[in-house]
Amino acid sequence: MTKTESEFIPAYLSLHKRGELSAHAETALARLEACDLCARYCRVNRRQTVKGVVCRTGEQAVVHSFGPHHGEEDPLRDWRGAMA
C-alpha cells in the first residue's frame, strides 16, 4: 500500500512529534566539529572555519533544490555503473 500525497508526513515532522528532532540536530552540529558528512571526511571544524574544507561549505549549508526520491533511474542502477 502506498501513501497518497495527503497522507505523506515528512520525516522531520515525525521526529519532532516523537520529541527526537532536537537530538538529531545536536548530533548533526557535533559532527560539523570534525566533519565527516561527505565522502571526503576532511575532519575540519566547519563551525569555526571553511579553511581546509574540501566542499567549501561552512556551518550554514544552502539547499538549492529538493524533491522526493523514488529510487535510482535504470542507468544509475546498471551493474557497470552510471554512463556505462
pLDDT tens, residue by residue, 17-59: 999 999 999 999 999 999 998 888 899 999 999 888 888 888 8
The answer as to whether 15 is a domain residue is yes
Residues of the domain holding 37: 8-55
Residue at 19: amino acid letter:
G
The answer as to whether 16 is a domain residue is yes
The answer as to whether 77 is a domain residue is no
Nearest to 44 by CA among 36, 34, 59, 56: 34
Residue at 15: amino acid letter:
L
The Cα angle at residue 3 between residues 1 and 65, in degrees rounded to 5? 135
* Domains identified in the chain, total number: 1
The answer as to whether 68 is a domain residue is no
pLDDT tens, residue by residue, 53-66: 888 888 888 888 87
Predicted model pTM:
0.60
